[in-house]
Amino acid sequence: MDIARTPSNPDGNIEMADAAGEPHSPPEIRREDYRPFPWLVPETRLEFELGLESTRVRSKLTVARNAKADHSPTIRLNGDGIEATSVMVDGEPAQAFTMDGSDLILTLPGEAHEIAIETEIDPSANSQLMGLFASNGMLCTQCESEGFRRITFFPDRPDVLSVFTVRLSGAKAQFPILMCNGNRVDEGEDGDDHWAEWHDPWPKPSYLFALVAGDLLARTDSFTTMNGREVELNVWVREGDLDRTEHAMESLKRSMKWDEETFGREYDLDLFNIVAVSDFNMGAMENKGLNVFNTKYVLADPETATDGDFDAVEGVIGHEYFHNWSGNRITCRDWFQLSLKEGFTVLRDQLFSQDMHSEPVKRIEDVRVLRGVQFPEDSGPLAHPIRPDSYREISNFYTSTVYNKGAEVIRMMRTMAGEEAFRKGTDTYFDRHDGEAATCEDFITSIEDGAGLDLKQFRLWYSQAGTPKVTADLSHDNGEAVLRLGQQVPSTPGQPNKKPMPIPLKIALFDRETGKNSGEQLLILDSDTAEHRFAGFDKKPVLSINRGFSAPVTIQRDIDRDELLFLAAKDDDPFARYEAMQDLITGHLVASASGDLGDDERVSARADIATALSAVIADGSLEDLMRGELLLMPSQSYIGEQLELADPGRIHAERESLKAAIGTSLHDELVQLHSRVSDVPFSMDAQAKGARKVKTVALTYLAAASPELAETMAAAQYDAADNMTDRQGALMVLTGLEGVERTNKLLDFYNRYEGNALVIDKWFALQASSLHPNVVEHVKALADHPDFTLRNPNRVRSLYMAFAANPHGFHIETGEGYRMIGDLILELDPINSQTAARFVPPLGRWRRIEAGRAAMMRDQLDRIAAFDKLSRDTYEQVSRSIG
Ligand code: PHE
Ligand code: ZN
């Protein structure tokens, strides 16, 4: 039985209709209502008697009045779906305790007390994967944000820090490995059972607690810190996965070194454990000294993981490791401050990956994610500031806005301060707030003081949602270039009127003849409009703006195609060059999808695009990794974003037809390119990775133009592949084609990797994201495949997230795609509400879609809302989306 559905858990499911039949909603939690907790919990002792079906938990909390908080005669211990079998205060059965919903309230007369509570839980029934759950015969925990309360009663809030000592015991055979945060201080045997005692010297909030028990093997290594501390490193996996852990371990060591060199941060325990689990709602979790990872971000070898997977493993390993300082040593005062740790840590992992590989390519990838996911979020019904003001279910705020826009906001501070001053700012932050539960405001003030910035107006980036629109208009007047800038921050739910924000824009002005620019400058646009004059131009230069994507804004610039072609070929900022290429294509697709493009214009625009792409193919100064970026078409969602009302069918058709036109006019160049890079032997260096990237990009254009040729080439690429990148790339192209090789290679792939869950996930995802005309039928059939299950989040996402992100399938005219996602949400919600709620945003885009489809999307939201037992997660997302 699902732990969240037991009758003792009134909060697990929200009754959406009360006795009078009126819908009512879970309470809204507001940032301004924050109050310090009246009690401190200096020490926590936990004892777990572990069993898959039944685990007994005994907790002992020492509590003392918090002098810095208002006095309260009671203490609130949060619970969720649990019952106390015993409650004692100072060694006596507690007389005065009550339940408030699922929380336990105790009256405490004195200054300091000891509270002892026993609970019993069933991990095997925990399909929500929050709290203590079973995965493949092992036990592990996930406590962020509010999972600890599913284990025992506790002040489950990030501003209550406690030193944890934990005793784990269980059957030796079933759980040979027993792990918790910190260091193991004792262990012993007891017949068929054994036990281990762990102590974490660093005070931490309950969300950073973790335990793992199971039959695991480790790759072991060590790292010597800058002050000579020897740290034991382990990556724990199931037997058989050990030879896919080398990359994770190397990434960990690189992260540790990088954080010392770049931010001066040293690791602070003698042991660092990473555990891979196959059932996990998110990517990974930074529990103190015991990071728990989705297998997807640990296991990698060239046979089963793509280059993208390798990079993702490195990035997530870095991310979780960096949390040890930005998250754990300094944590969040409350969940409204989530971006304090997440935005900053994303920035840190981005900078790490930039330093390990090509900086511009990484920047382009990060901007693509921001525009593909965060921009749509920021312009839709779920838009919220990076520091939200209210929520009903905090799980819904682990968003691209909090993470990726949060990182962009801190990156802007770094751009304005310069690297060195920014480092002084982060040093100030770490010094000042070490050991505390801090706020975004604390971070901003530290950067102001340490870096010497004035961020008064800049704070608006924390409180205002919406992607600013910047207009840029360059003219020429009397020997001067005149740049007129304007900004407008769109209204978002609950925020109709916005103030102008400081927007740091890196610009350069190019002379078209010489191809040179007059040097990069940083302008800060902090008012509605501004004018800048640049002397010494006898004719109008070409404007390159928002270089390096210095601000997370959209730019509307008055620029001709000629100038874009110039920048696409000549801009010395690689990002700006990519941007010019994207603008060139986006401009054309937006015009053609809105129907205001004559035949002649279409022909000439396509010719310009082909010319630009051809120059990119021929440019000998480009590395293939960068070439691959420059050759990529903007995504359908990015094009749709540019339109007030998008017709997904039309955009899709225009985009495919442009691909076909390019594939036709650049046929020979593409075939040659494919053949050149096919000769590059496999390795993990940038050159070989670049070769693999352009190899598949070339195929995608050819597939649109000459499907039969592409089928042959893709089948050959598949057969010749000695790595997953080439193999998956070839199969991706084939799944969109109707030929016989599609069936052959899909079957081969399945048979080759049967039993390897992460690769079978790819097999599902490739089919769900394909361009094949029958993709909807394919997805329906795959849902009945014996390997499909709603109990494993990776598998659910591999089929349905891939499908929801496939405009050609999800937006099929019949509305079938919307219905499938609606059905999924309703079926998944009782099993795993966090994962279910993540499928709501695609439907929530309805206001920006043409009327016919919008009505069908809306129907699905209404149908879900009418369901009388929705989780708090799904309820909140659906009601905001209908709004
Ligand atoms: N804190 C994790 C991270 O970003 C994400 C996470 C959130 C994981 C909630 C699990 C649950 O690194
Ligand atoms: Zn994080």
pLDDT in tens, 646-702: 999 999 999 999 999 999 999 999 999 999 999 999 999 999 999 999 999 999 999
| pLDDT for 558 beyond 50 | yes
Report the interhelical angle of 406-417 vs 338-356 (nearest 10°).
Answer: 70
Residue 732: its pLDDT value, please? 98
- What is the rounded distance in angstroms from the CA atom of residue 327 to the CA atom of residue 338? 9
The residue type of 281 is N
| pLDDT for 814 beyond 80 | yes
Average pLDDT score over the chain: 96
Quick one: which ligand is closest to 158's CA? Answer: 1
What would the mean pLDDT of 310-331 be, rounded to a whole number? Answer: 99
What would the mean pLDDT of 309-313 be, rounded to a whole number? Answer: 98
What would the mean pLDDT of 373-398 be, rounded to a whole number? Answer: 98
Residue 96: its pLDDT value, please? 80
Report the percentage of the chain scoring pLDDT > 70.
97
Protein residues within 5 Å, CB atom, of ion ligand 2: 342, 345
Residue 21: its pLDDT value, please? 38
Residues 6 or more apart whose CB falls under 8 angstroms from that of 223 comprise: 230, 231, 233, 252, 253, 256, 257, 267, 272
Q: How far is the CA of 840 from the centre of ligand 2 (A)?
A: 22
Give the nearest ligand 1 atom to 286 CA.
12
| Nearest protein CA to atom 12 of ligand 1, as residue | 285
- What is the rounded distance in angstroms from the CA atom of residue 116 to the CA atom of residue 62? 9
| Nearest protein CA to atom 3 of ligand 1, as residue | 285
SS3 state at 58 = strand
Give the nearest ligand 1 atom to 130 CA.
11
Take residue 687 and report the two structure tokens written for it.
């050159």
Cα 724 from chain centre? 23
What would the mean pLDDT of 423-434 be, rounded to a whole number? Answer: 99
Residues 6 or more apart whose CB falls under 8 angstroms from that of 710 comprise: 699, 702, 703, 733, 737
Quick one: which ligand is closest to 398's CA? Answer: 1
Q: How far is the CA of 293 from the centre of ligand 2 (A)?
A: 12
| Nearest protein CA to atom 7 of ligand 1, as residue | 144
- For ligand 1, mutation pick of 285, 325, 332 (most atoms within 8 Å of CB): 285
Residue 745: its pLDDT value, please? 99
Q: Which of 628, 620, 632 is nearest to 585 (CA)?
A: 632
Give the nearest ligand 1 atom to 395 CA.
9
- Report the pocket of ligand 1 as residue ranges, CB < 6 Å: 142, 144, 282, 284-286, 319-320, 342, 398
ipTM (interface pTM): 0.99
| pLDDT for 115 beyond 60 | yes
**Banded pLDDT at 16 (limits 50, 70, 90):** very low
Q: Is the dihedral of CA 244, 250, 253, 257 positive or negative?
A: negative
| pLDDT for 282 beyond 70 | yes
CA distances from 718 to 725, 753, 764 (A): 10, 14, 17
Residue 595: its pLDDT value, please? 87
Residue 700: its pLDDT value, please? 98
Give the nearest ligand 1 atom to 342 CA.
4
What would the mean pLDDT of 10-20 be, rounded to a whole number? Answer: 39
What would the mean pLDDT of 236-250 be, rounded to a whole number? Answer: 98
- What is the rounded distance in angstroms from the CA atom of residue 597 to the CA atom of residue 643? 15
Q: Kindly report the number of other CB atoms within 10 A of residue 862's CB atom.
A: 12
- What is the rounded distance in angstroms from the CA atom of residue 58 to the CA atom of residue 52? 17
417, 426 contact by CB (below 8 A):
no
Q: How far is the CA of 869 from the centre of ligand 2 (A)?
A: 31
Q: How far is the CA of 338 from the centre of ligand 2 (A)?
A: 9
CA angle in degrees (0–180, nearest 5) for 267-273-277: 140
Give the nearest ligand 1 atom to 403 CA.
4
Q: How far is the CA of 322 from the centre of ligand 2 (A)?
A: 9
Residue scoring higher pLDDT (96 or 432): 432
Quick one: which ligand is closest to 284's CA? Answer: 1
| pLDDT for 23 beyond 60 | no
Q: Is the dihedral of CA 851, 856, 860, 862 positive or negative?
A: positive
**Banded pLDDT at 24 (limits 50, 70, 90):** low
Q: Which of 268, 393, 282 is nearest to 323 (CA)?
A: 268
Q: How far is the CA of 305 from the centre of ligand 2 (A)?
A: 23
- pLDDT tens digits for range 172-202: 999 999 999 999 999 999 999 999 999 999 9
Quick one: which ligand is closest to 343's CA? Answer: 2
Give the nearest ligand 1 atom to 320 CA.
12
Q: How far is the CA of 76 from the centre of ligand 1 (A)?
A: 25
Residue 518: its pLDDT value, please? 86
| Nearest protein CA to atom 5 of ligand 1, as residue | 285
**Banded pLDDT at 335 (limits 50, 70, 90):** very high
Residue 718: its pLDDT value, please? 98
Q: Which of 249, 323, 253 is nearest to 283 (CA)?
A: 323
Residue 585: its pLDDT value, please? 98
Report the percentage of the chain scoring pLDDT > 90.
96
Q: How far is the CA of 431 from the centre of ligand 2 (A)?
A: 21
- pLDDT tens digits for range 526-537: 999 999 999 999
| Nearest protein CA to atom 11 of ligand 1, as residue | 144
Q: How far is the CA of 209 from the centre of ligand 1 (A)?
A: 13
| Nearest protein CA to atom 2 of ligand 1, as residue | 285
Residue 25: its pLDDT value, please? 82
Give the nearest ligand 1 atom to 319 CA.
12
- pLDDT tens digits for range 708-767: 999 999 999 999 999 999 999 999 999 999 999 999 999 999 999 999 999 999 999 999
Which active-site residues does the annotation give? 320
| pLDDT for 15 beyond 50 | no
**Banded pLDDT at 883 (limits 50, 70, 90):** confident
- Backbone torsions φ then ψ of 98, nearest 5 degrees: -135, 165
Residue 20: its pLDDT value, please? 39
- What is the rounded distance in angstroms from the CA atom of residue 82 to the CA atom of residue 103? 9
- For ligand 1, mutation pick of 130, 279, 282 (most atoms within 8 Å of CB): 282
What would the mean pLDDT of 285-313 be, rounded to a whole number? Answer: 98
Give the nearest ligand 1 atom to 398 CA.
7
615, 569 contact by CB (below 8 A):
yes
What letter would DSSP give residue 402? I
| pLDDT for 787 beyond 80 | yes
| pLDDT for 626 beyond 80 | yes
Q: How far is the CA of 342 from the centre of ligand 2 (A)?
A: 5
Residue 14: its pLDDT value, please? 42
| Nearest protein CA to atom 1 of ligand 1, as residue | 285
- pLDDT tens digits for range 826-847: 999 999 999 999 999 999 999 9
Quick one: which ligand is closest to 287's CA? Answer: 1
- What is the rounded distance in angstroms from the CA atom of residue 293 to the CA atom of residue 245? 12
CA distances from 282 to 331, 404, 631, 659, 871 (A): 19, 15, 31, 34, 18
